Amino acid sequence: MRKCGVLDLRLGLRLLLLVLLVSPLTPAANAAEAGESELWSGLARGDYIVLVRHALAPGNGDPAEFSLRDCATQRNLSGEGREQAQRIGARIKDAGLATVEVFSSQWCRCLETARLLGFGDVGEVPAFNSFYQRYEREEAQVKGMRAWLMQRKDSGPAVVVTHQVNITSLGNVFATSGEMVFISVDNGGDIEVVGRIAVE
């Protein structure tokens, strides 16, 4: 009897410890799911716009012989990057958004990412081109991006594929390759990052 009592006590303590460890995680997990659901709902309503850093493209910057309309002179998506771009599109569709307008930087890696999302035609927006290693262009481009975003806001679901430097300048966050950064834009052009979803 005594032995059973000790075993019961040990079992009870283990169960209590398990409950204490698991219970705090449940509300957090539910909150994360609710938060992501609100991001998708906000995008569907047109309250938010999604900035996507182009999918995986090995390397850094662009070759010295870079030419805007010649993809052979640029850093491009890898096979893994192309698969990642398709997964981003699938993630958006799985959230219930069958129709989304997609816009892009004119860089080949961005345009390819945008097309692989699978929503049809892609609009080219020069304001979202990279200014990496050309930081004298930053102020003018940020002004152009803000103006475009203000004009676009409240016009339905929109995704813009662009570059890390652009997203950092607009939202003060460092996006990883293929990461979706959800933003809201007020009437004065101020931008708030409301959430982020990374697609590995």
Dist. CA 42–CA 184, nearest whole Å: 9
Select the more confidently predicted residue: 142 or 18.
142
pTM value surpassing 0.75 = yes
CA 13 to chain centre: 43
Mean pLDDT in residue range 194-199: 95
User: Residue 126 has what pLDDT?
Assistant: 96
Mean pLDDT in residue range 44-58: 96
* % of the chain with per-residue pLDDT over 90: 72
Q: Which CATH class is domain 2-197?
A: alpha beta
Domain boundaries, the chain: 2-197
User: Residue 5 has what pLDDT?
Assistant: 52
Give, in degrees to the nearest 5, the angle at Cα 116 between 100 and 54: 90
User: Residue 16 has what pLDDT?
Assistant: 43
